[in-house]
């Protein structure tokens, strides 16, 4: 199946500024689903059949969860179902996590998505990460592509995962929800802080005073995270320079 047209993918991810108000949660979770898919793909968590490959901005073959695959569909549905609670500022954080032997209490690695609803947080950039702009569609697309490059490069520094790894989503609410969704358990006491971490991205929504920050936490860093961070910035710069020779023209908005 050929990749979808670039504009189709970007338009499906990006909320135009005049349509963002009231839909910030959906925008953030669409972005989160692409980041989670890239991570799952590069860590080999799911089979290749769980992904469809698309073009985003000037990069091709970006993995996205394929609705035709049961596990990918499960992840997509969970992420989508969180949109309303984020819009209502109920969720503190969630993790796209990996555990051994299907035991959520034995989490070994995770992408952690934190939500900050404080007015003051809107002006604070996340160091050593991609601060995604939403001022225009192409600013957003360019920054999202850099986030996906960060995911790919960081995964290349992580040791291979052991067998028997399962992917799942952990959700932490700011307070216990009045009603639990069917077949979901909300674990409010899990702790990933003992794992080494690297920041990935910050996605702000000033119209709703909410920002989403993303980091990876893992027990499988082969190299000290600070050394990875330095190599990562060099790798991103080199990729940028290589891209200067591309024959792709910048799309018109």
For 74-119, the pLDDT digits (tens) are 999 999 999 989 989 999 999 999 999 888 888 999 999 999 988 7
Domain with residue 38: its CATH number is 3.30.900.10
Whether 58 is covered by a domain: the verdict is: yes
Whether 253 is covered by a domain: the verdict is: no
pLDDT at 246: 36
pLDDT over 90, % of the chain: 44
pLDDT at 230: 82
Q: Which residue has the higher pLDDT, 67 or 59?
A: 67
Dihedral in degrees, nearest 10, Cα atoms 31, 75, 49, 99: 110
Q: What is the DSSP letter of 116?
A: E
Whether 112 is covered by a domain: the verdict is: yes
Dihedral in degrees, nearest 10, Cα atoms 103, 30, 161, 114: -70
Domain assignment of residue 112, given as a range: 6-243
Can you tell me the distance from the alpha carbon of 250 to that of 137, in angstroms, rounded to the nearest whole number? 12
Whether 252 is covered by a domain: the verdict is: no
**From the CB of residue 45, how many other CB atoms can be counted at a distance below 10 Å?**
18
Tell me which residue of 169, 220, 198 sits closest to 43, measured CA to CA: 220
Structural domain count of the chain: 1
Whether 248 is covered by a domain: the verdict is: no
Can you tell me the distance from the alpha carbon of 50 to that of 40, in angstroms, rounded to the nearest whole number? 10
- CA–CA distances in Å: residue 112 to residues 11, 19, 27, 248: 25, 27, 17, 34
Tell me which residue of 28, 14, 13 sits closest to 211, measured CA to CA: 28
Whether 43 is covered by a domain: the verdict is: yes
Whether 249 is covered by a domain: the verdict is: no
Does residue 6 have a pLDDT over 50? no
Q: Which residue has the higher pLDDT, 203 or 193?
A: 203
Q: Which residue has the higher pLDDT, 194 or 151?
A: 151
Does residue 7 have a pLDDT over 60? no
Whether 222 is covered by a domain: the verdict is: yes
């Amino acid at each position: 199946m050929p990749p979808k047209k670039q504009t189709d993918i970007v338009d499906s991810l990006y909320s135009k500024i005049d349509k963002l108000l009231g839909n910030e949660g959906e925008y953030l979770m669409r972005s989160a689903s692409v980041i989670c898919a890239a991570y799952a793909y590069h860590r080999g968590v799911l089979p290749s059949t769980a992904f469809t490959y698309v073009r985003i901005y000037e990069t091709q073959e970006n993995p996205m969860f394929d609705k035709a695959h049961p596990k990918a569909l499960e992840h997509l549905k969970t992420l989508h179902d969180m949109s309303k609670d984020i819009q209502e500022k109920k969720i503190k954080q969630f993790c796209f996590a990996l555990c051994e032997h299907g035991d959520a209490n034995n989490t070994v690695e995770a992408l952690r998505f934190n939500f900050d609803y404080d007015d003051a947080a809107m002006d604070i950039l996340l160091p050593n990460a991609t601060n995604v702009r939403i001022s225009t569609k192409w600013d957003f697309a360019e920054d999202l592509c850099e986030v996906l490059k960060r995911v790919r490069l960081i995964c290349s520094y992580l040791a291979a995962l052991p067998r028997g790894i399962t992917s799942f989503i952990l959700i932490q609410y700011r307070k216990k929800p009045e009603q639990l969704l069917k077949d979901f358990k909300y674990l409010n006491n899990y702790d990933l802080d003992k794992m080494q971490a690297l920041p990935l991205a910050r996605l702000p929504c000033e119209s709703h005073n909410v920002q989403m920050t993303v980091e990876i936490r893992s027990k499988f860093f082969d190299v000290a995270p600070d050394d990875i961070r330095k190599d990562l910035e060099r790798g991103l710069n080199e990729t940028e320079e290589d891209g200067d020779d591309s024959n792709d023209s910048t799309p018109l908005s």
